[in-house]
Structure 1
Amino acid sequence: MSAPLAGVRADALAAVPTPSPTSDALDAATEVAQKSWAWLLDTPLRIGLIVVVGAISLAVLRRVIRKVTEHIADGSSLLDRGPLRPLGASEVGSALLKAANPLASARRAQRARTIGSVLRSGATLLVGGTVAILVLDTLGVNVAPFLASAGVLGVAIGFGAQSLVKDFLSGLFMLLEDQYGVGDVIDVGPASGTVEAVALRVTKIRDGDGTLWYVPNGTMLRVGNKTQGWAKAVVEIDVDYFADLDEVRGVLEQAAARVAQDPVIGTYLDGEPTITSIERLSAEAVTLKLAVRTAPSMQWEVARALRVQARAGLEQAGVPLAGQLDRLTAHRQSHAAAATVEAPVPGTQGASPEDR
């Protein structure tokens, strides 16, 4: 190779730029730093936005739940607002309604508290679970296994706790429908008595013997409420087969009138009593039924008062009960004999025992 050609090749090689290893490393580090700063700025911002939206949503849900439960406790409708509000639905009217029916107000308040607690817990779980899943997804965590595990766990719990879920759902619908409340006398089949406590899972019932029954809500196939709205006092009286039924009806009407005139018991009556002439008929007795509508949970007190007055009226009228004709006759003869002995003999009034 000649010297001129070698010089030209050397100049060409010198003119071609060679890459600098220091420059490439600097560019890569800069790109990594930019990506890191972008991640640090973007991810916390998204997480904060998710948390803030979740908190606002939970606060709104809680406020709506509180409004709904307040209306349930007051017994008013959500539509009765502004121009649609009835004239009597004022603060004074609400206070008068609460004073007039304290039992209903207490039942509504208890139902509102229970429903509000359930709704608040459900809203917290729903919003909290959604926020947690979104935060994990933002951090780059694969949430598919969590969702699959939650689904499998939910199915397992559903199969393993069917009775528990049934009790909770039955208790929730029972509260929403206001089937019964504390202080009501109910009959649920296995137990019958006064309700002492109502929860989502069980209802506590105190029977007439003082036994406290814990009845799961899911086992109540039917519920009979004896003290809701109004009640009826029913008294059945068996009189002698040959008794004058018209006379007996008159005696029972007078007995009901005396009960209605009572300053305490009479306030519990609602309407006029009805008397059924022949409810049952047998070889020894004729059964008449006296019924009158009463205030809730006062039918037993009114029925006792009706029995007392009916017994006194039948005895005074000389109408025997079934199978008691001979005893009534003997009783009246003994009273007549005692009255004859105690009565003074004419012409001896005021005389001394020696003069008699």
Structure 2
Amino acid sequence: MMASTKYEGILCHLPILAPRYAEAQMISLIAAERATGAWNWLRDEGLLIVAITSGAFFFTRAIGLVSNFQAERLKRQRAEADPLGHNAVGAYQGALLGAARWGINFTIATVAFVWTLLLLNLPAAAVVPLVSIVGAGLGFGAQQIVGDVLAGIFIISERQFGVGDVVRVGPLVPVGWIEGRVEEVTLRVTKIRTFDGDLVTMANGGLRQTVNLSRDWARVLINIPVSREADLDAAIEMLNRIGHDISHDPEWAPLILEQPVVSGVEDIGAETIELRFAGRTLPAQQWKVAREIRHRIAIEGAP
């Protein structure tokens, strides 16, 4: 009697339990199907995305290592072929190498990004707003980048300056003009090491005016004050003798293209008369020659 009552209770609740059991079974099947689909996606597309991103990272790293090795090799070749460092061809090759590295890395990153988006199989309803937002943002931000890249192309194609050149660029806000040696040139930025040792990175689009101090030849200019009571002709004769001596000195003659001479009176003050002492040197050697000339003037005695 008790068993019969028990079965009757189960049968009484069966219409309620059966749909719930079927629903639970359906949920389990859907979860298993989704888990299987997710696993298959991770096994196929997921691994491919990991491979793409890893490959892009390692390719860019490898290109960086090869580029650095090639840059060092070019630097050694320039130093051996031109110890005085005024090889314009070598400077242009260094700039071209930096631009090529930047362009290849940008291409690799773009291809990897687009390929990854395609593998994600995002629905169009989600992609279109995302692309619109990104496009609007890039529309404002990319203007400066495009301008920098175009300026970099013109700098390299026109050979305005290259790696190793001594340049003066500006005017830059708020620092004004910057002078130093070019260490790296890419399509977007230029890096200059100032004479104080600071490494300045500037966007190519901001380089409104550039002065290349390493091209063809340079001029050494020294204004020398002479007392009004001194013998002006004797002072000019002494300075010209110093210019002759340094131009025929075996240590300094290779740096000098034109013997420094007194070109005339530059200014007349209340107590002194300034003489202009000028000559031509190899590119970027004018400061070194000027220091030696001042040293010799100090030894001879101020006129």
TM-score interval, normalised by the smaller of the two chains: 0.5 to 0.7
Which one of 88, 92, 97 corresponds to residue 108 of structure 1?
92
- Encode CA deviations 1:21-75: one digit per residue, 9 max, x unaligned: xxxxxxxxxxxxxxxxxxxxxxxxxxxxxxxxxxxxxxxxxxxxxxxxxxxxxxx
- Encode CA deviations 1:131-186: one digit per residue, 9 max, x unaligned: x9xxxxxxxxxxxxx9xx99997676343321111111111111111111222221
Count of aligned residue pairs for this structure pair: 208
Report what 1:160 is aligned to.
141
Q: Which has the larger radius of gyration?
A: 1
Mapped pair 1:173 → 2:160: no
Mapped pair 1:254 → 2:241: yes
Report what 1:211 is aligned to.
198
Tell me the TM-score normalized by structure 2. Answer: 0.58
The CA deviation at 1:272 is 3.0
The CA deviation at 1:257 is 1.1
- The whole-number CA distance in structure 2 between the counterparts of 1:287 and 1:113 is 47
Report what 1:56 is aligned to.
none
Which residues in structure 2 correspond to 1:115-130 (within 5 Å)? 115-116=99-100
AA paired with 1:233? Answer: V
Would you say the 8 A contact 2:98–2:184 is kept in 1?
no
Mapped pair 1:282 → 2:282: no
- Encode CA deviations 1:266-298: one digit per residue, 9 max, x unaligned: 111002323132101110110001111000111
Mapped pair 1:302 → 2:289: yes
AA paired with 1:243? Answer: A
Would you say the 8 A contact 1:158–1:165 is kept in 2?
no
Report what 1:61 is aligned to.
none
Which one of 187, 194, 197 corresponds to residue 184 of structure 2?
197
Structure 1: where are the runs of 5+ without partners? Answer: 1-94, 133-145, 320-356
> Alpha carbons of 1:195 and 1:117: their partners in 2 closer, same or farther (altered >3 Å)?
closer
- The whole-number CA distance in structure 1 between the counterparts of 2:95 and 2:183 is 14
- The whole-number CA distance in structure 2 between the counterparts of 1:180 and 1:153 is 35
- The whole-number CA distance in structure 2 between the counterparts of 1:212 and 1:111 is 17
SS in 2 for 1:179: coil
The CA deviation at 1:192 is 2.0
AA paired with 2:153? Answer: L
- The whole-number CA distance in structure 2 between the counterparts of 1:150 and 1:251 is 75
AA paired with 1:236? Answer: N
Would you say the 8 A contact 1:237–1:289 is kept in 2?
yes
AA paired with 1:298? Answer: Q
AA paired with 2:196? Answer: D
Report what 1:188 is aligned to.
169
- Encode CA deviations 1:86-144: one digit per residue, 9 max, x unaligned: xxxxxxxxx99x9358733421322333455577789999xx9xxx9xxxxxxxxxxxx
Would you say the 8 A contact 1:111–1:176 is kept in 2?
no
Report what 1:311 is aligned to.
298
SS in 1 for 2:205: helix
Would you say the 8 A contact 1:252–1:313 is kept in 2?
no
- The whole-number CA distance in structure 1 between the counterparts of 2:94 and 2:263 is 41
> Alpha carbons of 1:275 and 1:118: their partners in 2 closer, same or farther (altered >3 Å)?
same
- The whole-number CA distance in structure 2 between the counterparts of 1:289 and 1:124 is 56
SS in 2 for 1:188: strand
- The whole-number CA distance in structure 2 between the counterparts of 1:215 and 1:304 is 30
The CA deviation at 1:208 is 2.4
- The whole-number CA distance in structure 2 between the counterparts of 1:204 and 1:122 is 19
> Alpha carbons of 1:212 and 1:290: their partners in 2 closer, same or farther (altered >3 Å)?
same
RMSD: 3.6
AA paired with 2:210? Answer: V
Would you say the 8 A contact 1:278–1:287 is kept in 2?
yes
Which one of 213, 230, 234 corresponds to residue 226 of structure 1?
213
Which residues in structure 2 correspond to 1:69-108 (within 5 Å)? 99=81, 103-108=87-92
- The whole-number CA distance in structure 2 between the counterparts of 1:106 and 1:231 is 19
Q: Which structure ranks higher in relative contact order (CA pairs < 8 Å, sequence separation ≥ 6)?
A: 2
Would you say the 8 A contact 2:243–2:261 is kept in 1?
no
Report what 1:272 is aligned to.
259
> Alpha carbons of 1:172 and 1:151: their partners in 2 closer, same or farther (altered >3 Å)?
farther
Tell me the TM-score normalized by structure 1. Answer: 0.50
- The whole-number CA distance in structure 1 between the counterparts of 2:193 and 2:201 is 9
